[in-house]
A = this chain, B = another copy of it.
Amino acid sequence: MDELIDTMNTGQLKNIIKTILIKHDLSNEHAKISTDALINAELVGAYGHGLARLKMYCDRIKKKVINPKPKIKIKKISNSISHIDADDSIGFVAADIAIKTAIKNAQKTGIGLVAVKNSGHYGLSGYYAEQAVKKKLVTMIYTNAPPAVAPHGSLKSLFGTNPICFGTPTGSKIPFILDTSISMINRGKIRVAARDNKKIPEGVALDKYGKPTTDAKKALLGVQLPIAGFRGSGLAWMVDILSGVLTGGNHSGRVKDPFDDFSGPQNIGHLFITFKTNLFVKDYNNRIKENIKRIKKLPKIKGVKEIVYPGQNKYKRLKMNSKNNIKISNSIKKDLEFLKN
């Protein structure tokens, strides 16, 4: 981030954001859902998914490519399966309805499958996974995103950073939430670096000519590299199919960049799978507790204090950051001032 010129009380900041979103025609309820998601991203340290995006959302509403008053349709396919047409809503709202539907379906039948089309960027998949895990469900979540990663063998970005998300209860208060992009680096992080004139690590991106770069702005115009070559590329392709081809959403590179392309709605697709933990075993919580315990007890590489499971560090950051005011960078401060008035 650029210079931190201010901090703000979380409650106070929430009020400001909510007011801004209501001023941009969101309903009270939708503004609250969106605000909570944005603040959560700040608190877990996922700045690329937090306040750095607020102005973009407002811009898209102004340009009529996000619909602030969507008529979201939930089509029941079966007691387990639902299809949601989000009517170009802000992504947070579509995803919130979708995960709640997936939870309800799984509670009713053991398994839930919910597809969403005509949605937008919804922030962190893990945020929605947490909702399902709190209801004692296992969940798998897929979403596509604007082109950022080149398919293996290609010189041009087409896949999004297409996260793979998996969550499960752990029998303890800290959930297991794997939320991993299939690119070497999160696009939001490159965006924050570009905005704040910081460099990005080597080996994570190419510029638009296919050359390695550490310049965040050049990387945004170029190509992000997938993890593990053909394997990561295949995983990204899988996510594009599950969240785009299957759902009725955009796919194969057609999701528009929310910051740069106001020529139409994004029509992002999401897929939510949920199921009960105790379908096949009676003692799931004990089993997973034992699983984690055994792995944590392994001999560690020199310098490693603890083997952590996915979601553990994020949970710690959330707890710690929740005690303090939220730090506001210069550019965020400017955005808030501009959007308020």
Is residue A138 within 8 Å, beta carbon to beta carbon, of the partner chain? yes
A109 → B minimal CB distance (Å): 6
CB-CB nearest in chain B for A157: B298
- Given contacts A247-B281, A284-B245, A235 and B309 within 8 Å (CB-CB): no
Is residue A318 within 8 Å, beta carbon to beta carbon, of the partner chain? no
A230 → B minimal CB distance (Å): 8
B310 & A178 in contact (Cβ 8 Å cutoff)? no
Is residue A273 within 8 Å, beta carbon to beta carbon, of the partner chain? yes
A115 → B minimal CB distance (Å): 4
Q: Could you tell me the distance between the alpha carbons of A290 and B241 in the complex, rounded to whole angstroms?
A: 11
Chain B residues with Cβ under 8 A from A273's Cβ? 273
- Given contacts A80-B109, A154-B299, A280-B83, A309 and B115 within 8 Å (CB-CB): no
Is residue A240 within 8 Å, beta carbon to beta carbon, of the partner chain? yes
Q: Could you tell me the distance between the alpha carbons of A281 and B267 in the complex, rounded to whole angstroms?
A: 14
Chain B residues with Cβ under 8 A from A309's Cβ? 234, 237
12 example contacts (A-B, Cβ-Cβ < 8 A) are as follows A111-B111, A111-B113, A151-B298, A154-B301, A166-B238, A228-B232, A234-B309, A234-B310, A240-B291, A244-B291, A245-B287, A252-B291
